[in-house]
Amino acid sequence: MTMAFACWRGGACTILVVAAFVVAGCGAADSGAVADADAAAEAVDPREQFAGTWRLMRTERYDQRGEPLSDLMHPTIGLADVLGYLMYDGDRFGRIVQRVDRSAEDIQAALEGYEAYFGAYEVREAEGYVRYRIAGSVNPRLTGTELESFYEFSGGQLVLTPGLRCPDSYVARNGCAYGTTGIQLRHFWDRVAPSQESGAAAEPFHGFWAIDRLERQSLDGGDLSASQYADGYLAYMPSGQMAVQLMRPDRRRYEGPRPTAAEAEAAMETYASYFGPFSLEPGEDVVVHHRAGHLDPDQVGTDARRAFAFRDGQLVLQPPVSTDAEGREVQTSVYWNRVSARDSAAVAPTRD
């Protein structure tokens, strides 16, 4: 085996452990079979092996030489107890990882303990990495950027190795500047099996949905203004897990690498996100989101009931009626467009 650095845009580096295999003695008679096998491999979309829901099981830490990193070194990176899910469908993905010890009393820690982003991805199979194009992130600095991770499938797990992290220093071309020990993280994800509880009734939900618009009406029939989201995904997966991420327009980037208290508050006010299992109410057109994780720590463990309808190719969700500042009873409707690769013909017929 050999060890080498691979560097991303901006100079961040990661370590590759490369195994070299030499194949000899293949005669000309085998060339046709090899060509057929290569053609069959090329016909398979490499994203198919990613499709589904993955739960984060553990994270391993190494220094920039590939040696295991002591827990005493940079304990704030990669050691926390977390709950995290990664969802892939077609060319879309969503990722959320939440520290379980977050508290609303410290808004900066609450924000930094909730990592969430979504967008499109591609698999560079020949190079062995996956590229994520981030359409939206709870961290405004990530929105519109790209992240790349080496990947491997090992023992039924997806192992992702992102770029080398260098805390409190700048990243140099071949490692970390100013003598800081770099941190190489390796994330191990288990595939979540399809749920047997949701059944056929949940199939029309499965896939990724993109936000279209919000509408608000008073119960007396008057249309009200509604603040719109710039982008966002809602995912319902065959695993029985769901996740939502919504981003307001014109969010401001942090001035520094970490947010101030004011910047953290603004980031949380302009982003909505939670995740967890979902279920359907028997005999009702109601889906319940059981929020195992939430950007707002005070909302972890709560349920969100949403009336639903499939209408004109869209999914329409309605939270319970609320009362606005003027005392009017208001019904909000959230419209979603399907963006997953799933066959649209399988979507349930119109239900009102």
pLDDT digits (tens, 9 = 90+) for 190-214: 999 999 876 789 999 999 999 999 9
What is the mean pLDDT of the segment spanning 156-175? 72
pLDDT exceeds 70 at position 3: no
Q: Which residue has the higher pLDDT, 16 or 223?
A: 223
Report the C-alpha gap between 287 and 289 in whole angstroms: 7
pLDDT confidence of residue 64: 77
pLDDT digits (tens, 9 = 90+) for 103-156: 999 999 999 999 999 999 999 999 999 999 999 999 999 999 999 999 999 999
Tokens representing 14? Answer: 């990661």
Grade residue 352 by pLDDT with cuts at 50, 70 and 90.
very low
What is the mean pLDDT of the segment spanning 37-58? 82
pLDDT confidence of residue 309: 97
Q: Residue 233 is part of which domain span?
A: 200-346
179 and 32, same domain (yes or no): yes
- Residue holding tokens 């991303």? 8
Identify the weakest region by mean pLDDT among 4-13, 217-226, 311-320: 4-13
Strands 157-162 and 13-18, by their bridges, are: unpaired
User: Exposed, middle or buried: residue 205 (CB in 10 Å: 0-12, 13-18, 19+)?
Assistant: buried
pLDDT confidence of residue 85: 98
Q: Which residue has the higher pLDDT, 4 or 98?
A: 98
Strands 207-218 and 223-224, by their bridges, are: antiparallel
pLDDT confidence of residue 1: 37
The answer to whether the beta carbons of residues 119 and 135 sit under 8 Å apart is: yes
Residues counted in the chain: 352
User: Exposed, middle or buried: residue 67 (CB in 10 Å: 0-12, 13-18, 19+)?
Assistant: exposed
| Inside any domain, residue 351 | no
169 and 238, same domain (yes or no): no
| Inside any domain, residue 84 | yes
pLDDT confidence of residue 165: 77
What's the CATH code of the domain at 174? Answer: 2.40.128
Q: Which residue has the higher pLDDT, 283 or 37?
A: 283
271 and 176, same domain (yes or no): no
What is the mean pLDDT of the segment spanning 166-186? 62
Q: Which residue has the higher pLDDT, 278 or 327?
A: 278
Instruction: Give φ, ψ of 91 to 5 degrees.
Output: -105, 15
How many domains in the chain?
Answer: 2
User: Exposed, middle or buried: residue 138 (CB in 10 Å: 0-12, 13-18, 19+)?
Assistant: buried
Q: Residue 129: beta bridge partners?
A: 124, 150
| Inside any domain, residue 239 | yes
Report the C-alpha gap between 168 and 140 in whole angstroms: 20
pLDDT confidence of residue 258: 85
Of 169, 170, 132, nearest in space to 151 by CA? 132
Q: Which residue has the higher pLDDT, 244 or 351?
A: 244
Among 158, 191, 224, the domain boundary falls at 191
What is the mean pLDDT of the segment spanning 279-287? 95
Grade residue 269 by pLDDT with cuts at 50, 70 and 90.
very high
Tokens representing 201? Answer: 């009734």
Side-chain-facing half-sphere of 310: CA atoms under 13 Å:
17
| Inside any domain, residue 352 | no
91 and 19, same domain (yes or no): yes
pTM of the predicted protein model: 0.83
pLDDT exceeds 90 at position 273: yes
* Mean pLDDT, the chain, whole residue set: 85
